[in-house]
Amino acid sequence: MSELRGFYSPGLVALSVLIAILVSSAALDLTNRVTFASALRSILRQDPDVVFVGEIRDLETAEVAVQASLTGHLVLATLHANDAVGAIARFTDLGVDRGKIATTLRGAVAQRLARRVCPHCGQLVVGSTTAEEAPLATPYGVQPVVRAVGCDRCGKTGMGSDDLTNAASTPHLLLVDDDPVARGIARAVLEKNGFRVSQAEDGAAALERLDGSPDFALMVLDVEMPRMTGREVLARVRQSVHTAALPVLVLTGSVADEIEAQLMDEGADAYIRKPLEPARFVARVKAALRRAGS
């Protein structure tokens, strides 16, 4: 927030809309269909100078944010993309007109986890900084404490230990399908491509797994299931503040063209038909994870 002080002035009106589990001036009530887009429209009626949007994840929210920017509001928002430049591609993927992106976008800043210096080859900095270190240290008035060198254990990068990165680098997926054969095939394909997979045989079991394990990066959900259909599970997932942002890839045996649009409108992030084509299936999973920033 310290960067925001640069444009603060007396009388500035700033309003925000964030996910309900955060403290905000407009917490979302997903059960009553209060969305980012509807909350943002309500905020714009108050004519603020600055608008903070917790996350832009659909075309409706993106279009309202763009319209707010076109009418003179400063809009600050988060967006899932691979890097800062990828924000442009992400807006395009959502369906925002390229001309409007060029007119309204003023900057994109990416954030990433700070890397740790390899504990096996890192050296304490003694004396002055090197020519490579000086441009980074001087503007901020800091002195580096440890210098990255590079060794066989860190692949000559100078950055290591894999203790944290390995544990977090394998996405954990929840596979929900009542057909044990289809479930087994999907699991084999996913595990072959390096994913950790947990299974649920129906919708009720899936919701129990979601309640018990908060570390799922994506759910692969079959639509046609007994006890509780995939659509019912999807609705429950989107209504809960704990799982509202969980990416969901929907599986279906239906060949109807309109089913894809209906499922995407109900909250699915991706869609694929059965029988599964392994390459396409894995590509859809990876694309959904990229969009979610996992």
Q: Specify the CATH number for the domain of residue 66.
A: 3.40.50.300
Q: Compute the half-sphere exposure of residue 125: CA atoms within 13 Å on the CB side of its CA.
A: 14
Q: Answer yes or no: do 190 and 145 share one domain.
A: no
Q: Answer yes or no: do 198 and 280 share one domain.
A: yes
Residue numbers of the domain that contains 178: 166-292
Whether 167 shows a pLDDT value over 50: the answer reads no
In a domain, 277, yes or no: yes
- pLDDT score at 249: 94
Q: Answer yes or no: do 134 and 98 share one domain.
A: no
**Summary mean pLDDT of the chain:** 80
Helical ranges in the chain per DSSP H: 36-44, 59-70, 86-94, 98-104, 134-137, 162-169, 180-192, 203-212, 230-239, 258-265, 278-292
Q: Answer yes or no: do 134 and 194 share one domain.
A: no
In a domain, 146, yes or no: yes
| DSSP at 60 | H
In a domain, 235, yes or no: yes
Residue 173, Cβ density class (10 Å: 0-12 exposed, 13-18 middle, ≥19 buried): buried
Whether 218 shows a pLDDT value over 90: the answer reads yes
Identify the sign of the CA torsion 151, 156, 159, 160.
Answer: negative
Three-state SS for 150? coil
- pLDDT score at 173: 94
Q: Answer yes or no: do 148 and 180 share one domain.
A: no
Contact by Cβ (8 Å): 76, 54: no
> What is the pLDDT confidence band of residue 128, given thresholds at 50, 70 and 90?
confident
CB atoms within 10 A of CB 154: 21
Q: Answer yes or no: do 25 and 90 share one domain.
A: yes
> What is the pLDDT confidence band of residue 100, given thresholds at 50, 70 and 90?
very high
Task: List pLDDT tens digits, range 146-157.
Answer: 888 888 777 777
Radius of gyration of the chain (CA): 23
Task: List pLDDT tens digits, range 227-279.
Answer: 789 999 999 999 888 888 899 999 988 777 788 788 888 889 988 888 888 98
Q: What is the b/e burial string over 225-252, where b = at least 16 CB atoms within 10 angstroms of the residue's CB?
A: beebbbbebbebbbeeeebbbbbbbbbb
- pLDDT score at 16: 54
Number of domains within the chain: 3
Q: Which residue has the higher pLDDT, 89 or 34?
A: 89
> What is the pLDDT confidence band of residue 4, given thresholds at 50, 70 and 90?
low
Task: List pLDDT tens digits, range 19-75.
Answer: 433 333 444 444 456 666 677 677 777 777 788 887 888 888 888 889 888 888 888
Q: Answer yes or no: do 272 and 173 share one domain.
A: yes
Q: Answer yes or no: do 18 and 73 share one domain.
A: yes
Helical ranges in 240-277 per DSSP H: 258-265
| Residues of the chain above pLDDT 70, percent | 83
Contact by Cβ (8 Å): 114, 124: no
Contact by Cβ (8 Å): 186, 177: yes
- pLDDT score at 281: 92
> What is the pLDDT confidence band of residue 163, given thresholds at 50, 70 and 90?
very low
- pLDDT score at 105: 93
pTM of the predicted model as reported, rounded to 2 decimal places:
0.45
